[in-house]
Structure formats: structure tokens, C-alpha cells
Structure 1
Amino acid sequence: MFVALTVVTAVAALLLAAWCGWAAYRDEPTKDWHFIGMAVVTVLALVQLVVGIVQLARGEDARQGTAIFVSYLVGAFLCVPAAGFMSLAERTRWGSVTVAAAGVVLAVLQVRLYDIWGG
């Protein structure tokens, strides 16, 4: 697994979580700028998904199993977009809380992906 990409994705997810958490603290819903941040984090997760699948296709193996690794990759990719859609439905501070929680979840998934790969 490409460790630098995992670290960058986790840090970006935590920054998004802090940013949306600050918006929730100020009683604000998610705004266009938050969605741009979500898009950046989602692109990082997509790049990670592609890199992970390419490495598996090359014959490299995840230490704890390929199926669980791919499941975590897909879950990490879908985490922030799902929260973004939920925040569109909830146009209060709780939409921001949802995205902040998704950022934290994505960071935790990055740590778990690192462990599954054999880090």
C-alpha cells in the first residue's frame, strides 16, 4: 500500500472533520466550500482505491486478506460522499456534524487499511 497516500488522506479527512466541526459549533450548515473540501477528500480516497486495486492486480497481497482489504477500500471511498448527501438533506448544524463524523471515520479507516495491508 502506498503509505504516503494513506497519511495524506487521513490528514485531509481530519482537517475536513475539524472544519465541519467548527461550522457545527458555530451553528452553520454545510456550505459550498465544505463540499469542495469533501470533493478533495473523496478524490484522495478514489486515488487510494485505484492504487490498492492496481497493487492487488500486480499480485501483491494484503496481509489480513484481499476481500476485507477491498471492502475497506470501497467503504473508505463511499464514506464522505454518503455523508455529503446526508448533509444536503439536513440543512442545519447537524449536517455539518454528519460530515465531521465522516471525516473522523475516514481517518480511522485509513489506519485500519494500513493495518490490513500489513503495516
Structure 2
Amino acid sequence: MIAWMMLAQAALLGLLGAGVTVAGIAKVRMNDWILGAAAIATLTLVVQIVASIIAPFTGSGPTGDPFEYWVYLVMAVLIPPAVALWALIDKGRWGVVALGVALMSVGVMVYRMHQIWFVQVF
């Protein structure tokens, strides 16, 4: 696990989520930019999966509960595409707001994964 990458990812997801939420409140309907934000979020989480698989082999495994970490990570990867699909079906501004809130929630989940991975290290 790379600490700076995870914290940067949490900040990025929070900013993307806030931007998408503001766009939804401003009555912006689902478009390619908003869908791109969900794609970027999913891509960063896939990178996190790869880093989480490789890290224990390099000697920097989690000090917290690995099961809890992986449950958080798998759910975080599933949330953006699922809510983006719902937002595509909804076509209104509330689907976009839901996607923004989901992205911010995933940012919080990433920060929590950081806490689980580095428990008792700080």
C-alpha cells in the first residue's frame, strides 16, 4: 500500500464527488464529463487493487484486518459503476447528485482503507 497514493486518491474522489454533486444541484443532466468522473474513480480503484495485491509480496502488508480491507476495496470498486448506471437510467439531476454523493462516499471509504492498512503504524 502506498500511503501518498491512497491519500491523493481519497482527495481526488472527494473533489470529483463534490464537483459532480454541484453539477447535479445546478440541474446538469448526465453527460460524458460526469460519466468520465465515474470512470476515473473506477480506474483509480482498479490501480489500488493492483497495488494492494503486489504490496504484501514486497513486505509491506496490512497491519490491520485484511478481510475488512478487501471488503471495503471490493465494495468501493463496485459503487461508482453501479451508481453511474443508475444515473444513466434516471436521466434527471438527482441521478447526477446521487453519483456525486457516491463518489464522495467512496473517497471516505478509501481513507478508511488507509486507516485499516496502516493501523498501529502511526
Residues of 1 paired with 2:46 and 2:96: CA distance? 22
**Following TM superposition, by how much is the alpha carbon of 1:19 offset from its aligned partner in structure 2, in angstroms?**
1.6
Aligned residues: 119
TM-score (norm 1): 0.89
Amino acid at match of 2:53: I
1:1-119 superposed matches below 5 A:
1-58=1-58, 60-119=60-119
TM-score (norm 2): 0.87
**Following TM superposition, by how much is the alpha carbon of 1:47 offset from its aligned partner in structure 2, in angstroms?**
0.2
**Is the contact made by 1:52 and 1:73 (CA closer than 8 Å) also made in structure 2?**
no
Amino acid at match of 1:93: R
Residues of 2 paired with 1:59 and 1:118: CA distance? 13
**Following TM superposition, by how much is the alpha carbon of 1:8 offset from its aligned partner in structure 2, in angstroms?**
2.1
Note the alpha carbon deviations across 1:27-46, whole angstroms, 9 max, x for none.
12221111112111211111
Amino-acid identity (%): 27
Structure 2 gap ranges (5+):
none
**Is the contact made by 2:87 and 2:98 (CA closer than 8 Å) also made in structure 1?**
yes
Residues of 2 paired with 1:107 and 1:13: CA distance? 5
Cα RMSD, aligned residues only:
1.6
Give the stretch that moved more between structures: 17-26 or 107-116: 17-26
**Taking structure 1 as reference, are residues 56 and 79 closer, same or farther at Cα in structure 2, changes over 3 Å only?**
farther
Note the alpha carbon deviations across 1:3-42, whole angstroms, 9 max, x for none.
1221221122112112211211211222111111211121
**Is the contact made by 1:17 and 1:99 (CA closer than 8 Å) also made in structure 2?**
yes
Q: SS of the residue aligned with 1:11?
A: helix
Q: SS of the residue aligned with 2:30?
A: coil
**Is the contact made by 1:72 and 1:113 (CA closer than 8 Å) also made in structure 2?**
yes
Note the alpha carbon deviations across 1:72-97, whole angstroms, 9 max, x for none.
11112222111111111111011111
Amino acid at match of 1:72: Y
**Following TM superposition, by how much is the alpha carbon of 1:60 offset from its aligned partner in structure 2, in angstroms?**
4.0
Residues of 1 paired with 2:57 and 2:70: CA distance? 12
